[in-house]
Structure 1
Amino acid sequence: MRNNELAQVLRATNPWWSRRRRASWVLDDPELTARERHGWALATATSRTVLADLAAGVRPGTVTLVVGPRGVGKTTAVKDVVAHLVADPAVDPRRVVLVPVEHLDEDDRPRRMGGVDLAAVLRLPTRTGAPACDGPRVLVVDEVGTVSRWPAAVADACRRGDQVVATTSVLDPRDLAALLAAVPEGALHVRHLRPATFAEVLMAEPAADAAQVRAGFLRHGGLPRAIAEHRDLGDVSHELVERVAAGLHHDVCRGEDRCPLDRLLAAVCATTDRFVEPAALATHLDLTTGEVGVLLERLEHAHALDPRRGLVDPLLHRLPSLLAPERHTAPSAAHIAAFSH
């Protein structure tokens, strides 16, 4: 992307740079308003607790990775942090730069920053649209794990004294090791946001019938918005299903035509017994065991798969039938209960 294109993206994503919008931007932010419509209070409280130290003030020369699966609320959680920081009279809001790796262009088509784009924004924010300011920056990078060579760009910013807060749905252990080796000792912090368990959902509704809560959980799973939409709408919205699926498709399939996400998840669901079976999957998908091994590793790095138990959340079992009901039949509640981590 050219610098002027990056500048357009950053200016659209950082409304608090305008004095008139410093406080009011939260009223029409898409993630924060979506949570107002369909939010689950326990998840909001948990994420705020996990990231409370970040909201308390600027921490120069540090890196915090906020890790969790697609749809768990990472973007909303870091926007809560941004809202606290830019509302603080002691913090110049121009220091806070939100970098959306995944964004929409002028025609509402999805686009992603590449490694060169991310490095340019983090190294020289003023050349890519950010206003000049005094002091170190607070660089908030959303979905950094989808960018090639991201550890180097993040580490460079940290060593310059900036604070980096980065969300990622994909965390390859090799990338984490590279980042750890490249930043000063003690500078890296990793925080996890996880889907709720059945026990947590049940404890949040102590007066509800346990059997009904269990039946609902086996349909909506533990993603906060899925829980709230099932409560408010009776089921998970198609919009949420498509968002989770699009993110997972990029994280796992990387645009490869031989890997339709619905077929992959349906095959994992159908072939998992005591363990996930690569050979059975390869036969089911007409791929080599090596190709299947790569896909399973990516599913694991995307926090969607436990190799010992299968797909980690009930909604992932239902995703194929929700995406393509003409091709896939929804698995039974008994199957989901047996093979969800």
Structure 2
Amino acid sequence: MAETKPSFHDRKGGWSSINDEGANLGSYGAVPPEGEPEIFAARDSLPELLVARFYFWDKVPDALSRIVGDPDSEHRLNAIDVALSKVSPTDLSILVSTRTTALLHRKDGVLASLAKLLDPDVKRWRDAISPTSDHHSFSDPDIFLWLTSRSNSGGQLDSQLSLTHIAGIHGTDSASRTAELRSGIDYKRANFLTSVAEGDTLGPVDLDLSMNTSAGAEHYNAVIFADGGFKLRKSEVYMPGILDGGELMLAANMKIAHLILRRIEHIYIAGMGKWKTEREDVIEGAITDLRDRYEAALAKLESVKNREPKAS
């Protein structure tokens, strides 16, 4: 990997360090900084990591070129961060910093480069990369309804991990129509109750998590997807003793991916038997609350109508 450097001369993508100093990302005609991929030793329940940044150049539309006819103005520097770790003797975890499929699967892109480096059978290796085969994926999309239920009942997931707030959630109905709820999710919102009552598929979810550690409480805000992908908000991440922004986000991303999301999955699976009964109660409760809400609204409307003067 260290030998496959990005080449500015022929705009060929390659590997460097994840150091942001002099990264020049988004700049036209920019050259990536010199650097090497880094290996981080296993610690705090996290595996050994190989972390690198894949630099490449995007061709921008002619209308956006700053100087017509200048090749440098037609290419903008971009990058994708990658973290590799062995999760078993035969399985490799690959975490990437984008969910944009078109960027991941460019013929000269990050996955193509990894394939050449890791496996001579490039086609077989690339075909194996999909959300459905990703070991980070949640086993059951119903986990998002379970999370909202746990949030509604206090948010404590286990002795260390708690769900402190759900800021938003997506829902998809039986006709594949989507809706997004923001500004806080609870069991008093009629539109959320409707999603629950009608059995919509929930997710992704925007939530706040807190984890107690020997160093103090850690806090994370993340949007979590059913395939195990996630987006962290840097301004809403806190880990005691880590002040450097780059180090903080690397540590937070790795902990979310390799520890916290897996922990949530294990808690969910361990309580599956109890949840099956609770799930029925949650849906029945949503239906009852909606009925009561609209019966009260109907009664109020009838009361207003009855007070209106009758036409002579």
For normalisation by structure 1, the TM-score amounts to: 0.19
Where is the helix percentage greater, Structure 1 or Structure 2? 1
TM-score calculated relative to the size of structure 2: 0.20
Structure showing greater Rg: 2
More strand by share: 2
